[in-house]
Amino acid sequence: MPLGSRAAPEPPACSTDCPSAQTVALIEKLKRPLPAQTGYTEVRFVQMLDAPLTLRGELTYSSADELGKRVVSPYEETTTIANGQVQIARPGKPAKRFSLKRAPALAGFLESFSATLAGDAQRLARSYVLTSDGDAAHWRLDLVPRDPALARHVQRVVIRGHESTPRCFEIEETGGDSSLLLVDALANTAIDGTPDRKALQQLCQRAP
Amino acid sequence: MTLRARLVLLALWLALLAGLLAYILGALKISTDLRSFMPPARTPEQRLLLDEIGEGPGSRLLLLAIDGDEPDTLADISKALVPKIRGDARFVRAMNGEGDIGALADDLLPYRYLLSPTLDAERFDAAMLRDQLQQRVQDLGSPAAAWFKPLLANDPTLETLKLAEAWAPPGEPERYAEVWFTRDGTTALLLAETVAGGFDPAAQRDAQDALDGWFREAAKDTKARLVLSGPGVFTVRINATTSAEANRIGLYDSIGFITLLLLAYRRVGTVMAGALPLVSGGLAGMAAMALVFGGAHGITLAFGFTLIGVAQDYPIHLFSHLRRDRTPAAVASLLWPTLATGVASTCIAYLAFFASGVDGLEQLAVFTIVGLATAALTTRFGLVHLLGSRPHDAADSAWLAALWRRLARLPRPRWLAPLLAIAAVAAMIWAPGAFWENNLAALTPAPPDLVAQDTRLRQELGAPDVRYLLVIEGADADAVLAASEKLEPKLAQLQRDAAIGGYELPSRYLPSLATQRARQANLPDPATLRSALDDAQQGLPFKPGSFDAFLRDVEAARALPPLTAERFLASPLGLRLKAQLQPRDGHWIGLVTLSGVADRDALIGLAAQPDTPARLLDLKNASESLVAAYRTRVLYSLAVAALLLVVVVTVALRRRSRVLRVLLPMAVTTLLILAVLRLCGVSLSLFHLIALVLAAGLGLDYALFFEHVEDDEHEQRRTLHAILVCSASTFLVFLLLALSSLPVLRAIGTTVTLGVAFNFALALLLTRPRQEIPHAR
């Protein structure tokens, strides 16, 4: 379990498929002071829909397991994660509450996001098999879940960034759906017409 | 008799007792369900209580709390426990909040449009569908998308989720990892409903032991702890503490009793042989119950052994009258008329209980009559042959002689009896407090820490109230469901007024056939629905054909026969409904459970409205009225028993003055006990009544022996010795019970202790013949 096992005895940091020294160095460079806040643009590719959804809003990250995700456009929705519980509130509707485990994609994102911002390579390596690619200016970090329960839903998380700043979180779900979250310098990327996944990935990889 | 012959007789006797014991162990089934001890129901409320609902669904609920480890571990244990409980015949249902989605079995899925209230107010038109689909787009963009995605193609309006929400218990607890937790997140919560009533200690212990076993298995290698609560847990705990305390007191009693007898008779063999009549009586009584009834109630046995305790006095009378110049058999034959009068009159009096029409009392009569008669006969014809020929003669004791002389000088105040009787009656009339204690639970109070814990868990779980219940009766299941729907708005109003915290209606799970048909009629035909859906999808990003499964399901739902209670009850979800909707003797009853009852009067007011199709059942009142009815039967039986006793004693003693001298102390003592108890603010219960009967039986024996005194001073001393040992030993035994911390043991103990003291003193003052005085010096 990526979450909730905080107080359980620490397993050895990594025994198989350990990250390379280069990958560890890259992650440690990403450490940010808390709390952190950034705008974002998220593009979700859902198979049921013939066009991807584009959502804009703000992420607030205050501690290892507390994350606020506020959608401001095209509609309003506030998601709060705290202590393994998720609450989704929409204006004029009663809030929905559920365990983080019910939303594995969200759990995977939270774990990768928080461990990355903590620069904690050990913690990240416990939950994922890590590989990295690129150079110091433009890099890409691949996270493949180790936990079978998470792997049933999340195939891979790809983080792309520039120097010491992650700019894109891409979550590939097993059913074929995926989402790309652009943050920091790319948070206000203009998206015209129907966004294209390949083009967005290029943007994440290449943007100066 | 030679020593050899005596040993053979002893061996035969013991072999016979062993045989009886073996028969009893095989044939006597002990039941502990309080209901089988109660009289037949008279009012509809009592009938519901006894026949139909046991002590109410609330009383059968066990509250489980698991803490002591990481929340994830606790959640895993909770998830492992539920399937075990659900798969066991001792439990009706188990809930931990898990498994709400898809709770509707696949074959009932098309019924969602008939079960969900959506179509009562809305229609599947373009506007409604568009609003729903817009929300689904947002759902797909939200972090909860993984949760909704599998449902959307069949159920774009999420009726399955609405049903799952509607079926969640009222005031549902917080969740963690899909299962219920306390608000502080430290404790996993579950509910389990037993088949057995909450006040059946044996069945409850069995069910709770099973829960403990499953928990230990599921919680292996963790630090988790299980805490159980609920009425069933109280019952088991009270039963255990009561029998533990009774056993502990019984042990001290035995030690004290044996010491007293050894002091009195100075022969170990004699004292040990003295236990045989009582043991024989107890075993014979139980065997008779096995023969006549095939079983016995646990309460009958407990009361019965209290009542035949008087049989321990029979060997004492024999031992105290033993002398060196007569064989024990000769002594016994001289004593027999007096002893037999006492035993016969007591036994005949107990016949009154046999005619009471209450199973428990009939069993009590059989047990007591057979037990007392056996003890008396074995004393007279068996015990005498076991005794040695060189007994300790009580008449040799110097202090006894001195005491006898003092007592003989005591006055015989004839005015004492009427004076005491009048004072006692006056005290009873003017003593403060309620005369009768109808709440049996008050005699066996639950430990306060358990009650506090129960209140806390009940609040967290929103578990139903144990006391109040609304009952709907109808000719068939559908009539009950229709009435339940009528009740819904009234209860919703009470909830808004904060008179109740929540409620659970049978129609929450299954709407009436009429409601289902009305919803069915509101389903659009395929062509209309398709065009509405096409309109609704305009401008939304769903791929064409995304909701074909929805179109098919709605079309299927239009042709379904409405879901009947029989079919729903047979489905996995039916278990939940079964607790609230049951067929009974050609009609159906529906139970509405209430939680957080804050305003009792509002409920009473609701039930009093003429258009309320339900009756309010106050389980506490109903059970108290049952206890009162039961007590009335006991009182009638006692009155008849008293009459029979007077008749038998009159026939045996013939002279009016003798009869009066024997019966007066016993009658006055009974009044005095009642007066003292009432003056001490004690409200009387069934246990007091049974103890009064025992006290009266003891008093009759004392009086008969005091009344039947020989002219010989030595023989008079022996009689005094016998009554002293009898009363001292009984006094000691019941004094320890009277000092108990448990009200039920205290009730029996104080009553009998007072009875022994008053009976002894009054028999001494009122019974001994006046003409004996001149002989005394």
Q: Does A92 touch chain B (CB under 8 A)?
A: no
pLDDT band at B213 (very low <50, low <70, confident <90, very high): very high
CA–CA separation, B724 vs A162, rounded Å?
105
**Residue type at B264 in one-letter notation:** A
Q: pLDDT tens-digit profile of B1-17?
A: 688 888 999 999 999 99
Residue in B141, B144, B543 closest to A103 by CB: B144
Q: Do B147 and A102 touch (CB under 8 A)?
A: yes
Mean pLDDT to the nearest integer, A13-39: 84
Q: Does A175 touch chain B (CB under 8 A)?
A: yes
Distances (CA, A) of A72 to A77, A79, A113, B142, B682: 7, 11, 21, 12, 71
Q: Do B145 and A177 touch (CB under 8 A)?
A: yes
**Least confident residue range of B54-68, B150-164, B252-266:** B54-68
Rounded to a whole number of angstroms, the distance from the CA of A102 to the nearest CA of chain B is 7
The more confidently predicted of residues B640 and A63 is B640
pLDDT band at B104 (very low <50, low <70, confident <90, very high): low
Please list the alpha-helical segments (H only) found in B384-447: 384-386, 398-408, 416-430, 440-443
pLDDT band at B434 (very low <50, low <70, confident <90, very high): confident
Residue to substitute from A1, A3, A41, A48, interface B, most B β-carbons within 10 A: A48
DSSP structure class, residue A18: P
Mean pLDDT to the nearest integer, B176-197: 86
Number of Cα atoms under 13 Å in the Cβ half of residue B314: 36
Q: What SS3 string covers B731-776?
A: HHHHHHHHCCCCHHHHHHHHHHHHHHHHHHHHHHHHHCCHHHHHHC
Q: Do A48 and B149 touch (CB under 8 A)?
A: yes
| Contact criterion met (CB below 8 Å) for B199 and B238 | no
DSSP structure class, residue B295: E
Distances (CA, A) of B73 to A66, A126, B123, B222: 21, 19, 45, 8
Using a CB-CB cut-off of 8 Å, the residues of chain A touching B146 are: 102-105, 153, 173
Q: Do B143 and A5 touch (CB under 8 A)?
A: no
Q: Do B138 and A75 touch (CB under 8 A)?
A: yes
Q: Do A49 and B146 touch (CB under 8 A)?
A: no
CA–CA separation, A149 vs A101, rounded Å?
9
Q: Is the pLDDT of residue A8 over 60?
A: no
Number of Cα atoms under 13 Å in the Cβ half of residue B609: 13
Mean pLDDT to the nearest integer, B255-280: 89
The more confidently predicted of residues B235 and B210 is B210
CA–CA separation, A179 vs A157, rounded Å?
10
pLDDT band at A204 (very low <50, low <70, confident <90, very high): confident
Q: Is B216 buried (19+), middle (13-18) or exposed (0-12) by CB count in 10 A? A: exposed
Q: Is the pLDDT of residue B275 over 80?
A: yes
Q: Is the pLDDT of residue B35 over 70?
A: no
Rounded to a whole number of angstroms, the distance from the CA of A44 to the nearest CA of chain B is 7
The predicted structure's pLDDT at residue B36: 62
Using a CB-CB cut-off of 8 Å, the residues of chain B touching A96 are: 144
Q: Do B541 and A51 touch (CB under 8 A)?
A: yes
The more confidently predicted of residues B288 and A151 is B288
Q: What are phi and psi of B691, to 5 degrees?
A: -65, -35
Give strand ranges (E) for B316-359.
none
Q: Do B142 and A8 touch (CB under 8 A)?
A: no
Distances (CA, A) of B249 to B13, B276, B664: 29, 21, 32
Q: Does A180 touch chain B (CB under 8 A)?
A: no
Q: Do B141 and A104 touch (CB under 8 A)?
A: no
Q: Do A7 and B70 touch (CB under 8 A)?
A: yes
Q: Is the pLDDT of residue B189 over 50?
A: yes
| Contact criterion met (CB below 8 Å) for B106 and B572 | no
Residues of B contacting chain A (CB within 8 angstroms): 70-72, 137-138, 140-147, 149, 152-153, 175-178, 185, 541-543, 546
Q: Does A49 touch chain B (CB under 8 A)?
A: yes
Residues shown for chain A = 208
Q: pLDDT tens-digit profile of B687-713?
A: 898 889 888 988 998 999 888 777 788
Q: What are phi and psi of B754, to 5 degrees?
A: -60, -40
* Residue with tokens 């004290």, as numbered in its chain: B256
The more confidently predicted of residues A23 and B57 is A23
The predicted structure's pLDDT at residue B774: 44
Using a CB-CB cut-off of 8 Å, the residues of chain A touching B541 are: 49-51, 53
Rounded to a whole number of angstroms, the distance from the CA of B499 to the nearest CA of chain A is 24
Residue to substitute from B138, B158, B542, interface A, most A β-carbons within 10 A: B138
| Contact criterion met (CB below 8 Å) for B512 and B588 | no
Q: Does A7 touch chain B (CB under 8 A)?
A: yes
Rounded to a whole number of angstroms, the distance from the CA of B186 to the nearest CA of chain A is 12
Q: pLDDT tens-digit profile of B334-344?
A: 999 999 988 99
Buried b (16+ CB within 10 A) or exposed e, B389-426: eebbbbbebeebeeebeeebeeeeeeebbeebbeebee
Give the count of beta carbons closer than 10 Å to the beta carbon of residue B159: 23
Dump the DSSP string for B510-572. Answer: S--HHHHHHHHHTSPPHHHHHHHHHHHHTTS-BPTTTTHHHHHHHHHHHTPPPPPHHHHHHST
Q: Do A103 and B145 touch (CB under 8 A)?
A: yes
Dump the DSSP string for B572-638. Answer: TTHHHHHTTEEEETTEEEEEEEEES---HHHHHHHHHSTT---EEEEHHHHHHHHHHHHHHHHHHHH
Q: Is the pLDDT of residue B89 over 60?
A: yes
Pairing of strands A154-162, A138-145: antiparallel
Rounded to a whole number of angstroms, the distance from the CA of A166 to the nearest CA of chain B is 21
Give the count of beta carbons closer than 10 Å to the beta carbon of residue B166: 12
| DSSP element (H, E) containing A56 | strand A53-63
Residue in B71, B144, B149 closest to A98 by CB: B144
The predicted structure's pLDDT at residue B38: 65
Q: Do B146 and A153 touch (CB under 8 A)?
A: yes
Reference B155, options B195, B217, B111, B187; nearest CA is: B111
Q: Do B142 and A101 touch (CB under 8 A)?
A: no
Using a CB-CB cut-off of 8 Å, the residues of chain A touching B72 are: 1, 4-5, 8
CA–CA separation, A11 vs B382, rounded Å?
78
| Closest-approach residue (CA) in chain B for A174 | B146
| Closest-approach residue (CA) in chain B for A175 | B146
Pairing of strands B174-176, B29-31: unpaired
Q: Is the pLDDT of residue A4 over 70?
A: no
Q: Does A90 touch chain B (CB under 8 A)?
A: yes
Q: Is B636 buried (19+), middle (13-18) or exposed (0-12) by CB count in 10 A? A: middle
The predicted structure's pLDDT at residue A2: 40
| Closest-approach residue (CA) in chain B for A3 | B72
The predicted structure's pLDDT at residue B520: 94
| Contact criterion met (CB below 8 Å) for B262 and B274 | no
| Closest-approach residue (CA) in chain A for B149 | A48
Pairing of strands B225-229, A178-183: unpaired
User: To the nearest whole percent, how much of chain B has pLDDT over 90?
Assistant: 36
Q: Do B146 and A97 touch (CB under 8 A)?
A: no
The two counts, helices (H) then strands (E), for chain B are: 33, 13
Reference B625, options B366, B433, B439; nearest CA is: B439
The more confidently predicted of residues B230 and B165 is B230
Reference B428, options B747, B632, B667, B673; nearest CA is: B673
Mean pLDDT to the nearest integer, B296-311: 82
The more confidently predicted of residues B453 and A10 is B453
Residue to substitute from A46, A70, A154, interface B, most B β-carbons within 10 A: A46
Q: Does A157 touch chain B (CB under 8 A)?
A: no
Q: Which residues, listed in sequence order, are joined to residue A37 by a DSSP beta bridge?
A: A60
Q: Do A49 and B541 touch (CB under 8 A)?
A: yes
Residue to substitute from A99, A153, A180, interface B, most B β-carbons within 10 A: A99
Q: pLDDT tens-digit profile of A99-116?
A: 776 677 777 778 888 888
CA–CA separation, A59 vs A61, rounded Å?
6
